[in-house]
């Protein structure tokens, strides 16, 4: 029987889980596979993380922490677009994670990323309710774009289409907002 590894921590567990997610996707990440990767008994993993859902919440928090605020761009819509492109790239590295997060959206909110999106939208002229609705639209659009596994040969076109879609959402929301004032 495996022993509990000294120094096992939430951070070590999350990093191992991210490795498994990148290799096997959400469906291939199990608490047993994680324990094997860590070289510990299954019970040791469960002492730190009660279940797969809680583990995925920790992983999402870690991923969100890696999303950087874009400060070198004066255009607020360009800042929002840059954050969304980074979020898409980040989730694309972990197959199935976007679908899982979308299915449990209220459990996976990131106040920091929401703030990175919300404040520039307010700065661009959207009202608070419009900005909040657009943040949800952007999240759902991004998740939807990640649900389909495409041939890597068309990745450049997919990235361009995704950027175009973000632009349409942003410009369309501003146009809609200005028409209703």
Kindly give the confidence (pLDDT) of every residue in the chain, 181 residues in length, as a single tens digit, with 9 standing for 90 and above.
444 455 799 999 999 999 999 999 999 999 999 999 999 999 999 999 999 999 999 999 999 988 877 777 789 999 999 999 999 999 889 999 988 988 888 888 889 899 999 999 999 999 999 999 999 999 889 988 888 777 778 878 888 999 999 999 999 998 988 777 6
Residues 69 and 52: their CA atoms lie apart, in Å, by 29
* Residue 55 structural domain: 10-61
Same domain, 85 and 166: yes
Same domain, 74 and 106: yes
Per-residue pLDDT, 130? 95
Same domain, 73 and 159: yes
Same domain, 40 and 129: no
Cβ atoms of 170 and 83 within 8 Å: the answer is no
Three-state DSSP class for residue 116: helix
CATH number at residue 37: 1.10.10.60
Cβ atoms of 42 and 32 within 8 Å: the answer is yes
Q: Name the DSSP class of 105.
A: G
Same domain, 83 and 165: yes
Per-residue pLDDT, 7? 77
Same domain, 118 and 156: yes
Same domain, 81 and 149: yes
End-to-end CA distance of the chain: 68
pTM of the model: 0.84
Nearest to 130 by CA among 69, 76, 181: 181
Same domain, 80 and 128: yes
Same domain, 20 and 99: no
Same domain, 55 and 98: no
């Amino acid at each position: 029987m495996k022993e509990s590894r000294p120094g096992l921590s939430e951070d070590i567990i999350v990093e191992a889980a991210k490795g498994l997610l990148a290799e096997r996707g959400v469906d291939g990440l199990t608490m047993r596979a994680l324990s094997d990767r860590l070289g510990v008994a299954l019970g040791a993993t469960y002492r730190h993380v009660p279940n797969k859902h809680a583990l995925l919440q920790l992983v999402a928090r870690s991923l969100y922490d890696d999303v950087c605020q874009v400060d070198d761009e004066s255009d607020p819509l360009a800042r929002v677009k840059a954050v969304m492109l980074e979020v898409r790239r980040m989730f694309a590295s972990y197959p199935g994670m976007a679908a899982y997060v979308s299915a449990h959206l209220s459990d996976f909110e990131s106040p920091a990323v929401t703030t990175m999106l919300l404040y520039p939208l307010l700065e661009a002229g959207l009202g608070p309710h419009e900005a909040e609705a657009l943040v949800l639209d952007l999240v759902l659009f991004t998740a939807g774009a990640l649900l389909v596994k495409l041939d890597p040969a068309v990745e450049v076109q997919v990235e361009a289409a995704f950027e175009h879609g973000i632009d349409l959402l942003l410009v369309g929301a501003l146009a809609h907002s200005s028409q209703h004032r």
